[in-house]
Amino acid sequence: MVEVGSIDYNKIAKKIEDDKRKAKTTSYVDGGKIYYKKNCEYCHGAKGEILSSGTSRALSKMSFEEMQDAMSGYINDEYDNGMAILMKPYADLVVKNDLEKISVYLESINK
């Protein structure tokens, strides 16, 4: 009979969760990069550092929640720093998951 030493299932479960989190983060960074470069970079800069049209806040300084609030404001005509007419079409298209990916991507390149 082969005796197996004690197995630390909590350690195994933690490793699995850590691996899932890393995979999600990697896919979010990759997805966010694609979306950002296609839809945001021209106005907001390579790292989200540009104040688009001199009126917006730097995306690199905004949390996911702040981005979400701004997008919601554009959609509902409640947020306008002077250039909402340009942002509204983008806000109408972006979904929460894409916005979260953009936020994770910007965070990853602005460490």
Instruction: Report, as an integer, the average pLDDT of 65-88.
Output: 88
Residue 87, both tokens: 């942002």
pLDDT, one tens digit per residue, over 16-75 is 776 667 767 888 899 999 999 999 999 999 999 998 877 788 999 999 999 999 999 999
Residue 35, both tokens: 């979306």
pTM: 0.76
